[in-house]
Amino acid sequence: MTKNFILAGIDFHAPSDLVARQLIGTVLLVDGVGGRIVETEAYDREDPASHAFSGPTERNGAMFGDPAHAYVYRSYGIHWCLNFVCRESGHGAGVLIRAIEPLEGLERMRERRALEAELLLCSGPGKLCQALGVSRDHNAMALALPPFALWAAPQPVQVVAGPRIGISKAMDVPWRFGLAGSRFVSRPF
């Protein structure tokens, strides 16, 4: 029996920009804490802005592993950032989870985020990792297994796209996706 990389109705073998777009509206929980994904960014192997661009290293190894697994890396020595691995095993592609609309475990999020206002609990890749308790321990873990849970979008959503944030290369590629009209994104589209 072959491994199944379809999760929440999304085929993680697909190119990262497709997966990033389809992830908008899905519900992500980590140990019961999480909410609706409202902002993502796609990164791919042939993408100068991607960690995978220069090939596998110790840091990005998970990106070259199986799809539908997590890739967690340290950002600016301070924050953790969570990605979902895409494409076939060994390709080196992923989707950065940039913002979540908090739905479950608000109390634990507030504890971890120092009682931050609800709108700001998960409005950024580093913030949502802090709120959901994601760290190095989650790197390379399967998204289909606990503590992760990913549910299909409860209802159809309208997705908007734009250039990615915080990068210095390929700044014209519109691989940032968001839930139209959401106030929980890290920055307006």
Partner DNA sequence: AGGAAGATTTGCT
Partner DNA sequence: GCAAATCTTCCTA
Residues at the site binding DNA, with contacts judged by CB under 7 A:
41, 43, 49-52, 54, 57-60, 63, 71, 74-79, 81, 83, 94, 96, 113, 116, 120, 124-127, 164-168, 186
User: Of 5 and 64, which CB lies nearer to DNA in the complex structure?
Assistant: 64
Rounded least distance, CB 33 to DNA, Å: 16
User: Of 4 and 135, which CB lies nearer to DNA in the complex structure?
Assistant: 135
Measure the CA–CA gap between 132 and 175, rounded to whole angstroms.
24
User: Of 115 and 145, which CB lies nearer to DNA in the complex structure?
Assistant: 115
Rounded least distance, CB 50 to DNA, Å: 5
The dihedral sign for the CA sequence 173, 175, 181, 183: negative
User: Of 141 and 156, which CB lies nearer to DNA in the complex structure?
Assistant: 141
- Give backbone dihedrals phi and psi of 119, rounded to 5 degrees, phi first: -60, -25
User: Of 113 and 149, which CB lies nearer to DNA in the complex structure?
Assistant: 113
Rounded least distance, CB 10 to DNA, Å: 17
Rounded least distance, CB 31 to DNA, Å: 20
Rounded least distance, CB 154 to DNA, Å: 25
